Amino acid sequence: TRRAERVCRTYPTNREEDTGTMASHEGGYMECARAINRSIDAIRKNPASRNDAATAAEARFGEAERHLRRMEAALQTLEGSERTSREQAVSRCKQDFQSLKTELNRALNDADNAELTGLSGGGRGGGGRIGGGGYQPPTSGDGGWGGPSSAPPTSGMRGTELLEESRRIIGETEEIGDQVMGDMENQRHQLLSAHEKVLETRGFISDARQTLSTMGWRELQHKAMLVAIIIILFVSICLVLWFRFINKPKDR
C-alpha cells in the first residue's frame, strides 16, 4: 500500500451529509492516487511508454486536484474538533499530492536518462516527454497549492526545509525543557518547604501530646487527693457520731 493510501483516510463524523461528501472526495482522491502510482510504475517498468502513462497521470492529477478543492470547500460546513481532524487529513493529502508530482518527475527523468544511455531497451522512438521540463499538473491559474507557484521541490530544497524544521523544533523543545526545569526547581523548593513545615508540625504535636499526658497525671493526682480527703472526713464524722451519740458514756 502506497503513501497516498495511508495518509488519506475517512475520519468519523456526526454529520451524515458532511461525512458522505468528505468520504466520497477522499475515496475519489485515493483512487486517483492509486492510478497515478500505477502510471509511475508503468514509466519505470517501460520507459518507452512514458508518454501514454504521463497523459493518464495528467488526467488523474486534474481529477485529484478537483477532489482536494471540494474537500476544502466541504470543511467550511464542519466545526470543532471534527473540522480540525479533517483539516489535518486534507493537509496530508496535499502533501501527498506534491510527493506524487515529485515521484512522477523523477520517473520521467529516469526514463529519459535510461533512453539516452541505451539502457531502456525500447530504442529512441518513444519521443519526448510532455512539457519537456518535468511534469506540471493542471492548474486553475490562481497560484494556489496546485498551481505553478508550488512546483515540486528538489531533494536538496526538501532536505534544507526538513533541517530548518528540525532546528526550529529543537529550539522549541529546548525552551519547553527550560520551562519544565524551572517549574521543577520551584516545585522542589515548595516540597522542601512543605517537608520542613511537616517536621515542625510533628514537633508541635509531640509537645502537645506530652503536655496533655502531664495534665492527665495531674488531674489523676488531684482526684486521688480529693477522694482521700473525702474518705478522711467521712471517717472523722463517723467517729464523732459514734463517740458523741451512740457510744455515749453513762452518767454517774
Read off the pLDDT of residues 31-43 as tens digits, 9 standing for 90 and up: 888 888 888 888 8
Read off the pLDDT of residues 123-174 as tens digits, 9 standing for 90 and up: 444 444 434 444 444 444 444 444 433 444 455 666 777 788 888 899 889 8
Collapse the DSSP code of 244 into the 3-class scheme (helix H, G, I; strand E, B; otherwise coil) and give the result. Answer: helix
- Positive or negative CA dihedral for 40, 43, 44, 45? positive
Q: How confident is the prediction for the chain on average, in pLDDT?
A: 75
State how far the Cα of 167 lies from the Cα of 169, in Å rounded to an integer.
5
pTM above 0.95, yes or no: no
Burial class (CB in 10 A: 0-12, 13-18, 19+), 63: middle
State how far the Cα of 249 lies from the Cα of 245, in Å rounded to an integer.
9
Q: How confident is the model at residue 250 (pLDDT cuts 50, 70, 90)?
A: low
Q: Which amino acid appears at position 84 of this protein?
A: T
Helices (H), the chain: 3-7, 16-45, 50-75, 80-116, 155-241
- Closest by CA to 135, choosing from 120, 149, 152, is 152
State how far the Cα of 23 lies from the Cα of 20, in Å rounded to an integer.
5
pLDDT score for 118 = 62
Collapse the DSSP code of 47 into the 3-class scheme (helix H, G, I; strand E, B; otherwise coil) and give the result. Answer: helix
Q: Which residue has the higher pLDDT, 217 or 67?
A: 217
pLDDT score for 211 = 92
State how far the Cα of 108 lies from the Cα of 44, in Å rounded to an integer.
8
Mean pLDDT over residues 98-127, rounded? 69
